[in-house]
């Protein structure tokens, strides 16, 4: 048996020499082999600044580095990249603005409708509070149905 140095951690160990001369790297354990194989490097989270390990191949594929799903979601919401409504204290902004307009908290069964159809336009004069059925009727009025009663497309104004 030969003494070899682990290519990952540097620990000296006995190598049984089962593979002849084909190996350039030797490992004291399977964990060291996996750690060496993944080729992770230390990067900084773009949102919270925490350092963490990430595969080089993942770094090359993405523009940003996040340490967790929470940091990813927080960054996307902050920058508006998520496609979700901006939030104020965990409540969608359009609901907070509608509550201020009404002078009370909205009930769970009340929905906010954007008059001009632009969900980013949260001006007070552009939002109306409706029941779920009223809201559905407004949106259904702009659609056509097929012979089975299913919605197919928006009505043309011709």
Q: Please, which residues have CB within 8 angstroms of residue 52's CB and are 6 or more apart in sequence?
A: 42, 43, 45, 67
Residues 141 and 105 in one domain: yes
Domain assignment of residue 25, given as a range? 1-38
Q: How many domains does the chain fold into? A: 3
12 and 30 co-located in one domain: yes
d(CA 35, CA 46): 24
Which tokens in the block code for residue 41?
């490097």
- How confident is the model at residue 68, as a pLDDT? 93
Q: Is the CA virtual torsion 12, 13, 14, 20 positive or negative? A: negative
Looking at the structure, tell me whether residues 104 and 56 fall in a common domain: no
Cα separation, 20 vs 88, in Å, equals 64
Pair 150, 93 in one domain: yes
Integer CA distances (angstroms), 22 to 8, 18, 132, in order: 18, 10, 69
pLDDT in 10s for each residue of the chain, 158 residues: 788 899 889 999 888 877 667 778 888 999 988 888 888 888 999 989 999 989 888 888 888 899 999 988 888 776 656 666 677 777 788 888 889 888 999 999 999 999 888 888 888 899 999 999 999 888 888 788 888 888 787 666 54
**pTM (2 d.p.):** 0.44
**58 vs 20: CA distance, rounded Å:** 34
**pLDDT at 104 (0 to 100):** 92
Neighbours of 67 (CB within 10 A): 19
């Amino acid at each position: 048996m030969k003494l070899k140095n682990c290519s990952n951690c540097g620990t000296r160990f006995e190598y049984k020499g089962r593979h002849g001369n084909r190996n350039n790297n030797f490992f004291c354990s399977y964990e060291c082999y996996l750690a060496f194989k993944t080729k992770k490097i230390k990067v900084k989270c773009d949102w919270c600044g925490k350092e963490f390990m990430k595969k080089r191949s993942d770094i090359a594929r993405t523009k940003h580095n996040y340490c967790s799903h929470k940091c990813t979601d927080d960054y996307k919401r902050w920058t508006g990249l998520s496609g979700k409504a901006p939030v104020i204290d965990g409540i969608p902004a359009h609901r907070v603005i509608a509550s201020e307009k009404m002078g009370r908290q909205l009930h769970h069964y009340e929905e906010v409708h954007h008059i001009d159809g632009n969900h980013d336009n949260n001006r007070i004069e552009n939002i109306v509070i409706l029941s779920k059925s009223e809201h559905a009727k407004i949106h259904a009025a702009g659609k056509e149905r097929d012979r089975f009663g299913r919605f197919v497309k928006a009505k043309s104004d011709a």
